[in-house]
Structure 1
Amino acid sequence: MKRLSSAMSVMGVVVLGLSGLTACGGGDGYGSSSSSSSGSSSAPASSQAAGATKLATADVGDLGKIVVDGNGRTVYVFDKDSAGKSNCEGGCLDKWPVVAAGDGTPQLDGVDASLVSTVTRSDGTKQLALNGLPLYLFASDSKSGEAKGQAVGGVWWVVGADGKKITTQPGDSGDGNGY
């Protein structure tokens, strides 16, 4: 019995170690991931893990009135997505966590309900979408009113109150390594 218990402890350590390695799977941030990653990620799913998600609008810098989450964090769309399908997987989700659909109907303030929908991701989770395009946060936006992800890689954009992406280039372009 002691030998079995010891063997199970070793197996547990091995399994935990391997799962930690696969969660850190690489990728170019555009959704193609290393062969060890299968679309699952340990990235945070949303700024609000449970309950109804909230979308609102706020004036942010020279971008005008844009869509933000319930914590006032800017939301983005990704040019490599298509209507109804997210292509940000693996390592991409480390920098661009999804806006999870949550439970129930999203709370909306200044956002037209007819524009809001959900997308089912490859792992089966639900992500909020606007005009059919999946919504994301940018991990480097640490507080409300920031839009550091705007135009990153020429493929990430904030969303206007009308549900359309805003392609205004930011005043300072940052390091360009956000994707």
Structure 2
Amino acid sequence: MRRNQVGLVAALFTVGALALTACGQGAATSGSAAPSPDQAQSQDVAQDASANEVETDGLSGVDLLRGTANSNKADQNSGDRAPESAPTEVKQKWVELRAGNAGGLEPAVVNGKGLSVYWFSDDPVNGGVSNCNGDCAKTWPAITVTKGTRLFFPGIRRENIGFIKRQDGQLQVTIGGRPIYLFSKDKKAGDILGQNVGGKWFVINPEGKRAVPKAEAPNPAQPAPGTKPANSVTFFSEKNLKDFGDSFAVGVKVSDKCADLRGGFQSLSPDGAVKIWSEPGCKGKSAVVSGPVNDTSAAPIGFPAGVKSYIRA
């Protein structure tokens, strides 16, 4: 795989030179959307960006980017948000797979419209095939990509994302070795009408397993046993992983050095275990999290002013 650094000059002129924190080097964002006048002051709390980092998958030709579709300025009339009548090539301009909440299941994977993402128990894990074709695929549309598709994956580890070739020749995305799908009867964010259909369809989590109700999930202030350290985190300026309207998102790398955020961020979606602090310089109150956090001011984290620094856990 190769890594391309794009937009470096533009990013430097837009947000200034990369800031070095008192206790470590600042992390690079994934390319926040250009702020409106109303957002300009709020955007100042975001950490400086050095470039939009793109990883192109060597086999599929898909471009993988940290951060959300909005923070990467994806066309809102294409990709996951394209009209149902749009051609396939328009729908495949971009795909977003983010860790979030699906009808009370958390962490669960949802797409760029907030629709729940599913796996099918008849598909062999890491088997390289989908057993949902023909009429089945009309009810359970596969999430497909093509060369040049931009895939955003906040809160999901890169190593958990893969691709298989379907019977019709399309490339289908996999998470944890499982081909992934939408359900045709889900119409709005939060719908999980496909959950447990026939005892074979389940909402998927970022690891490629069955998503469970939030009450059954590990305490967000402690990492789940065996959780790997985070490679990246997407921070959101408002609660509930919101990145539209006056809010925005910042995708950052995570390293073993403390890094600061300018101001406080109210929610986050990591792809592994990350330690966060209530004050710059990795000071103040701290917590270790390994899944999406919708409100950093709420218990058990309790950061009234949001997250201000972080480090790999």
RMSD of Structure 2 on Structure 1 (CA): 2.1
**What's 2:190 paired with?**
145
Q: Under a length normalisation based on structure 2, what TM-score does the superposition of the two structures give?
A: 0.37
- The worse-fitting range, judged by mean Cα deviation, of 75-84 and 54-63 is 54-63
Q: Which has the higher helix share?
A: 1
SS of 1:153's partner is helix
CA distance in 2, matches of 1:163, 1:57: 11
Q: Under a length normalisation based on structure 1, what TM-score does the superposition of the two structures give?
A: 0.63
Tell whether 2:179 aligns with 1:134.
yes
SS of 2:137's partner is helix
Shift of 1:61: 2.9
Aligned partner (choices 90, 95, 108) of residue 53 of structure 1: 95
Q: Which has the higher strand share?
A: 2
Alignment: residue pair count:
124
Aligned sequence identity (%): 33
- The worse-fitting range, judged by mean Cα deviation, of 81-90 and 104-113 is 104-113
Shift of 1:52: 2.6
CA distance in 1, matches of 2:117, 2:103: 14
SS of 2:144's partner is coil
* Counterpart amino acid of residue 146 in structure 1: D
CA distance in 2, matches of 1:60, 1:79: 19
1:96-122 per-residue CA deviation (whole Å, 9 max, x = no partner) reads 001112433511111111100111001
Find runs of 4+ consecutive structure 1 residues off by over 4 angstroms.
none
Tell whether 2:174 aligns with 1:95.
no
Shift of 1:70: 1.3
Shift of 1:167: 6.6
More relative contact order in 1 or in 2 (CA 8 Å, sep 6+)? 1
CA distance in 2, matches of 1:122, 1:69: 23
**What's 1:85 paired with?**
129
**What's 2:282 paired with?**
none
5+ long unaligned stretches in structure 1: 1-43, 169-179
1:62-103 per-residue CA deviation (whole Å, 9 max, x = no partner) reads 322200111111000001111221000111011100111243
Alignment of 1:13-162 (within 5 A): 49-82=91-124, 83=126, 84-102=128-146, 103-162=148-207
Shift of 1:49: 1.4
5+ long unaligned stretches in structure 2: 1-85, 214-313
